[in-house]
């Protein structure tokens, strides 16, 4: 009961409610704008939260996360370009339905499915995160090491793109985390005598570089691209028949999305693709998919929004992010002096349940804003790139500089922008780099501390059941794509 | 990566053998850089046995670099069987933007941080097709100024000194 009251905190304080409303509004705008999204937006907003108290700051970031994930659907349906990667599957049926003159119906079902998926996942978060935190109390250093390895292998195998490229990207992310003074011995590593590198490479310069600056460079290659915009008259409530047709899909996709979200994969992106394909598999009209099926829209949208709550489960309970955006939120927590993990549940339940409440109400707010303001938000896509991206650049540079008041961070950000551009060009996903960077210290620290505990004997890792379980799951995750490919080629023959 | 494709078709050099492709270039660059970094790990200080926490500071990065080099070799070998999708040439605006980025660094480092931002915003906006003077003024002058004032007054940040910034600070 006490926890329930904590969840109402964003409604009981005018200040918190304004932050929540503002965050939801900004999240919607960021989601609507192709190329920007909750990850880039969260990273750009993070420096502005320095002057806020921790709860307000994290409410701002989480509401951007929830609303930004939904906002991508508006662009996906109206201009056939996903506002966020998580809305890619929504294009498949959203745009064809909009072309048939039913943009309002497509957006209506997307709004309902997104809000339901989001609320469903918050319920999962409220019940599941404390349970996971209880389990995590049993974890020692070796277990955390095995868990981090499991997370990274899962990310590589079920994340977007080629598994080996994902693994390389994750290893690259961990390697970045080794730059600077070794946190256990204070020995300089990869500093090349440059003073500014002894402090290490910060998370925000890397994330802003990889996402915002690389996207600006990508946009410079797309100047001649034309969008076919579908006009939107008004958002329509789905009919009773639409609800009958989609409720099972929405429920199934909400479950899928919440589960995928918990795994350290690419959160909403993978969830929406699986939600979409499962919706097609279970549909009575699979031939309608790709031609404007509302089940397709509902399946993708419920799943990607359900992944938001799911991804927060390991972030808060274990300190291991479930997606790139939750990695930004995790950084926000650390910047504000909050250490995520099992102890957070016992020491600061008011803070934690305040976040849960904010996520719940953010879903309700974007549902209302989506219905009444989709037409206005759709107009945001009219902002030309030639104006938008120079402004994003200014915000990226100032935001990155402001965290440590260091111009070195700005140069690092620009360097990672160029690296990110070429990584994307050659099919390397950026999310594993981010997750690798944030997990790097955990992986190395727990490995080294485990070896101290085991007196240097690696074999003792295999005497701990939880470690063995995670390592077996990691091997299974690594082999999964290859077995799947072998099975597919055998089926073809 | 359809969105990365422009209209410029790559002019294939018929003299180059088929294995000289994107996969080879990416793999070579990654392996060379990783090898150089691996070489540097031999110059990391070592701690005495009594202070060693599990392993020497160089061991973990060495392991990571070996993993990166091995996996990169794999992706090249796999690419021989399943070639990567050929990328098209980058369009001119990419190079313009990239060069402007370098200009920004030079101006920000030598003259003024905000002058660099203004110049970058103006050139990129102009090169990307904006010709309306009022909007160019907004992007290049008004917006950076608003951001500067916000950071300066609300967040109490001090930006690096330069010819424009010093006018404000004086």
If DSSP codes are grouped into helix, strand and coil, which group holds residue B29? helix
For the cut 70, the answer to whether the pLDDT of residue A230 exceeds it is no
Q: Count of alpha carbons within 13 Å of A430, Cβ hemisphere only?
A: 26
Check CB contact under 8 Å for B68 and A171. yes
Between these two residues, A389 and A260, which has the higher pLDDT value? A389
Report which of residues B50 and A392 the model is more confident about: A392
Whole-angstrom distance, CA of residue A358 vs CA of residue A360: 5
Least confident of A92-96, A114-118, A374-378, A441-445: A374-378
Is residue A252 within 8 A of residue A303, CB to CB? The reply is: no
Residue in A171, A405, A456 nearest the CB of B158: A405
Structural contact between residues A286 and A238, judged by C-beta atoms closer than 8 angstroms: no
CA–CA distance, A121 with A257 (Å, rounded to integer):
8
pLDDT at residue A376, as a whole number: 81
Roughly what angle, to the nearest 10 degrees, separates helices A294-318 and A88-97? Answer: 160
Chain B residue nearest residue A166, CA to CA: B71
> What confidence score (pLDDT) does residue A227 get?
65
Looking at every residue in chain A, the average pLDDT score rounds to 88
> Which residues fall within 8 angstroms of residue A82, CB to CB, at 6 or more apart?
A34, A72, A75, A76, A88, A90, A91
pLDDT at position A25 over 50: yes
Answer yes or no: do A172 and B7 touch at CB < 8 A. no
pLDDT of residue A28: 92
Of B1, B67, B120, the CB nearest to A171: B67
The tens digit of pLDDT for each residue in B103-148 reads 999 999 999 999 999 999 999 999 999 999 999 999 999 999 999 8
Answer whether residue A265 shows pLDDT above 70: no
Q: Are A98 and A77 in contact (CB under 8 A)?
A: yes
- Closest in B71, B109, B130 to A386, CB measured: B130
Q: Does the beta-carbon distance from B120 to A384 stay under 8 Å?
A: no
Query: Across the interface, which of B53, B90, B121 has its CB nearest the CB of A221?
Result: B90
pLDDT tens per residue across span A114-144: 999 999 999 988 988 888 888 888 888 999 9
Cα(B45)–Cα(B51) distance, integer angstroms: 12
> For A174-183, A223-232, B143-152, which range has the lowest pLDDT when averaged over its residues?
A223-232
Q: How confident is the model at residue A373 (pLDDT cuts 50, 70, 90)?
A: confident
Q: What is the pLDDT of residue A456?
A: 84
Nearest C-alpha in B relative to A402: B157
The answer to whether the beta carbons of residues A210 and A413 sit under 8 Å apart is: no
Q: Which residue has the higher pLDDT, A32 or A302?
A: A302
Of A167, A401, A452, the CB nearest to B54: A452
Q: Is the pLDDT of residue A445 over 70?
A: yes
Provide the whole-model pTM: 0.87
* Whole-angstrom distance, CA of residue A307 vs CA of residue A357: 16
Sequence-distant (6+) residues with CB within 8 A of B70 are none
pLDDT value of residue B61: 96
- Residues A478-493 pLDDT 10s: 888 777 777 777 776 6
Residue A404: its H or E element: helix A385-404
* Unique residue bearing structure tokens 């108290």: A53
Residue in chain A nearest B2 by alpha carbon = A425
Inform me whether the pLDDT recorded for A103 exceeds 90. no
Instruction: Return the SS3 of A315.
Output: helix
What pLDDT sits at residue B2? 39
Q: Is the pLDDT of residue A466 over 50?
A: yes
Query: CB A221 to CB B147 under 8 A?
Result: no
For residue A177, the model assigns a pLDDT of 95
Task: Enter the DSSP assignment of B46.
Answer: -
Do residues A31 and A83 lie in contact, with contact meaning Cβ atoms separated by under 8 Å?
yes
- Taking only the tens place, the pLDDT of each residue in A285-315 is 888 888 889 999 999 999 999 999 988 988 8
- Calculate mean pLDDT across residues A225-238: 67
- Give pLDDT, residue A332: 92
What per-residue confidence (pLDDT) applies to B122? 96
| Sequential DSSP letters for B75-97 | HHHHHHHSPPPPPPPPPHHHHHH
pLDDT at A411 over 50: yes
Residues near A350 by Cβ (< 8 Å), separated by ≥ 6?
Answer: A6, A9
**Average of per-residue pLDDT across A33-43:** 85
* Cβ neighbours of B145 in A, within 8 Å: none
| pLDDT classification of A232: cutoffs 50, 70, 90 | low
Residues of B in contact with A171 (CB under 8 A): 64, 67-68, 71
Beta bridge pairs of residue B53: B55
**C-beta atoms of A426 and B160 within 8 A:** no
pLDDT at B3: 42
Contact A448 B97 (CB under 8 A): no
Kindly report the nearest CA distance between residue B123 and chain A, in angstroms. Answer: 9
- Contacts of B149-155 spanning 24+ positions with Cβ under 8 A: B151/A398, B151/A402, B154/A51, B155/A47, B155/A48, B155/A50, B155/A51, B155/A402
For A390, the closest of B22, B108, B125 (CB atoms) is: B125
Residues from chain A contacting residue B85 (CB–CB below 8 Å): 427
Chain B residues within 8 A of A188 when measuring between CB atoms = 44-45
User: What is residue B18's predicted lDDT score, i.e. its pLDDT?
Assistant: 64
CB B68 to CB A172 under 8 A? yes
Please choose, from the candidates B121, B124, B22, the residue with its C-alpha nearest in 3D space to the C-alpha of residue A395: B121
Q: Are A322 and A312 in contact (CB under 8 A)?
A: yes
Give the mean pLDDT per block of 10 residues along chain B (170 residues).
42 57 91 97 87 83 96 91 83 94 94 94 94 94 92 84 85
Cα A394 from Cα B143, distance rounded (Å): 8
pLDDT at A229: 67
Q: Are B100 and B120 in contact (CB under 8 A)?
A: yes
Show residues of chain A in contact with B160, CB under 8 Å.
407
Where is pLDDT greater, at A103 or B29?
B29
């Amino acid at each position: 009961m006490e926890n329930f009251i904590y969840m109402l905190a964003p409604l009981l304080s005018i200040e918190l409610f304004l932050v929540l409303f503002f965050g939801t509004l900004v999240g919607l705008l960021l989601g609507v704008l192709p190329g920007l999204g909750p990850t880039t937006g969260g990273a750009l907003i993070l420096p502005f939260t320095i002057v806020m108290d921790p709860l307000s700051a994290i409410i701002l970031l989480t509401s951007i996360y929830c609303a930004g994930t939904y906002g991508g659907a508006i662009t996906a349906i109206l201009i056939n370009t996903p506002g966020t990667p998580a809305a890619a599957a929504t294009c498949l049926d959203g745009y064809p339905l909009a072309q048939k003159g039913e943009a309002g119906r497509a957006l209506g079902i997307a709004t309902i499915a997104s809000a339901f998926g989001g609320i469903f996942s918050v319920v999962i978060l409220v019940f599941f995160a404390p349970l996971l935190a209880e389990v995590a109390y049993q974890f020692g250093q070796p277990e955390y090491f095995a868990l981090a390895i499991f997370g990274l292998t899962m990310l590589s195998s079920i994340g977007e793109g080629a598994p080996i490229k994902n693994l390389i990207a994750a290893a690259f992310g961990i390697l970045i985390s080794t730059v600077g003074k070794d946190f256990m011995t204070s020995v300089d590593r990869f500093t090349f005598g440059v003073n500014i590198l002894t402090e290490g490479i910060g998370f925000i310069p890397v994330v802003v570089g990889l996402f915002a600056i690389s996207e600006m460079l990508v946009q410079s290659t797309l100047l001649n691209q034309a969008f076919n915009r579908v006009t939107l008259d008004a958002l329509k409530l789905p009919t009773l028949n639409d609800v009958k047709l989609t409720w099972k899909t929405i429920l199934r996709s909400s479950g899928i999305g919440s589960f995928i979200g918990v795994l350290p994969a690419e959160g909403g992106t993978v969830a929406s693709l699986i939600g979409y394909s499962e919706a097609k598999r279970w549909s009575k009209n699979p031939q309608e998919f790709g031609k404007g099926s509302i089940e397709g829209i509902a399946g993708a949208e419920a799943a990607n929004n359900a992944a938001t709550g799911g991804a927060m489960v390991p972030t808060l309970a274990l300190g291991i992010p479930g997606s790139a955006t939750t990695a930004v939120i995790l950084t926000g927590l650390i910047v504000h002096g909050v250490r995520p993990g099992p102890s957070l549940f016992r020491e600061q339940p008011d803070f934690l349940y305040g976040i849960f409440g904010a996520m719940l109400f953010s879903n309700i707010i974007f549902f209302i804003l989506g219905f009444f303001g989709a037409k206005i938000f759709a107009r945001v896509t009219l902002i030309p790139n030639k104006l938008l991206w120079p402004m994003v650049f200014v915000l990226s540079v100032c935001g990155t500089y402001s965290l440590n008041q260091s111009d070195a961070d700005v140069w690092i950000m620009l360097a990672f922008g160029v690296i990110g551009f070429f990584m994307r060009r050659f099919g390397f996903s950026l999310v594993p780099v981010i997750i690798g960077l944030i997990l790097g210290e955990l992986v190395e620290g727990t490995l080294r501390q485990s070896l101290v505990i085991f007196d240097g004997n690696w074999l003792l890792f295999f005497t701990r059941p939880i470690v063995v379980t995670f390592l077996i799951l990691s091997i299974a995750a690594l082999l999964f794509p290859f077995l799947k490919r072998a099975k597919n080629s055998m089926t073809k023959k | 990566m359809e969105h990365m494709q422009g209209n410029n078709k790559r002019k294939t050099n018929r003299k180059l053998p088929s294995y000289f492709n994107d996969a080879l270039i990416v793999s070579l660059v990654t392996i060379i850089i990783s090898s150089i970094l691996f070489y540097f790990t031999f110059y990391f200080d070592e701690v005495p046995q009594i202070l060693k926490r599990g392993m020497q500071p160089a061991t973990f990065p060495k392991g990571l670099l070996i993993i990166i080099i091995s996996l990169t070799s794999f992706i090249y070998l796999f690419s021989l069987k399943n070639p990567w999708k050929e990328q098209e040439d980058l369009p001119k605006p990419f190079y313009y933007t990239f060069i402007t980025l370098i200009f920004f660094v030079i101006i920000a480092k030598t003259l003024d941080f905000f002058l660099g931002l203004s110049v970058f915003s103006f050139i990129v906006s102009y090169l990307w097709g904006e010709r309306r003077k009022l909007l160019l003024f907004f992007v290049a002058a008004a917006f950076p100024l608003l951001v500067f004032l916000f950071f300066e007054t609300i967040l109490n940040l001090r930006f690096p000194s330069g010819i424009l910034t010093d006018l404000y600070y004086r």
